[in-house]
Amino acid sequence: MRAYITLLSTTSYLPGVACLAASLRDTRTQVPLVVAVSHGVPAAVREQVAAMPGVSRVLVLPAGDLLPTGAVQQAHHWAHTFDKLRLFSLCEFTKLVYLDSDMVVLQNLDGLFEAPHMAAVAAGRLVHPDWTRLNSGLMVIEPKDGLPERIAQTLAAALHEKSENERPALGDQDLINSYYADWPLAGPHLDQSYNVFFEHVDAYLATGRYTLPGQPSRSQVVGQPLRVVHFVGRDKPWMRRGRLRHLLARLRGRLGPGQREVLRTYSGLLRATS
């Protein structure tokens, strides 16, 4: 069985899951969406997820931490994302396409199910050429028994790299990058269009290599569509602080036309799913 999958580990991301499901549905995907839910998420919230249009199944993950308590505490606001590692052993699925719940899908992604295990994006590399690490917001996963535990065993290496590079907190992405240490050179690498940070949207469009679906190219060469936009950072577009931040940026002229179009799309999804 193949499926899209996302993770809900805190109730504050419930609107993000609803918008992700709606955006996937709008692409007329033929593949079901499964929502993996951390054990601590209340039953009432799970029922809300199960009732969402576009969600085919809610899968409750086992209780307990894969990592020592001290490591989880070091993760700060990313601590809840370690449940993402559990998805790597969901062997009832032959292939999963994982999507963070703070993403919006703009173009059909069903072709990703032909991509190999750990196909992903070094997100932001077009703007920052030294950003070579895998971004765990979108990954193609072929689950295997024991794989989460093996990834978790790279904790010491991940902590060492975090310290050397002065990263503020430890997250699932650090462990995944430690386990797949050769990924920056060996891949498999997906095109940048599969995971574009919201802050970089207009920089990507300005190259002429990319367009927003339904929008004209900014060059004579027809660019690839931006397929997925990723709202990284603490303040999400469904949160009050996120909405306020985007409003202030718009009033101050700091949002590009591409960003404004993406926000219009996302606002429509929020209204449709509220």
pLDDT tens digits for range 190-240: 999 999 999 999 999 999 999 999 776 555 556 899 999 999 999 999 999
| Domains (range + CATH), the chain | 2-194 (3.90.550.10), 199-273 (no CATH)
Confidence (pTM): 0.93
**Percent of the chain beyond pLDDT 90?**
83
Does 188 have pLDDT greater than 90?
yes
Q: Which two tokens stand for residue 122?
A: 């070094």
The predicted structure's pLDDT at residue 73: 47
**Percent of the chain beyond pLDDT 70?**
92
Does 133 have pLDDT greater than 90?
yes
Asked if 232 and 195 touch (Cβ cutoff 8 Å), the reply is no
Give the count of beta carbons closer than 10 Å to the beta carbon of residue 70: 9
pLDDT single digits (tens) 63-118: 877 877 555 545 444 456 799 999 999 999 999 999 999 999 999 999 999 999 99
Asked if 21 and 55 touch (Cβ cutoff 8 Å), the reply is yes
**Neighbouring residues of 38: CB distance < 8 A, sequence distance ≥ 6:** 7, 8, 9, 10, 61, 80, 83
∠ CA 201-80-248, rounded to 5°? 35
Alpha helices in 4-142 (DSSP H): 14-26, 43-50, 69-74
Asked if 82 and 67 touch (Cβ cutoff 8 Å), the reply is yes
Q: Which helix H or strand E contains 273, and what residues bound it?
A: helix 257-273
Strand partners, 141: 96
Asked if 81 and 171 touch (Cβ cutoff 8 Å), the reply is yes
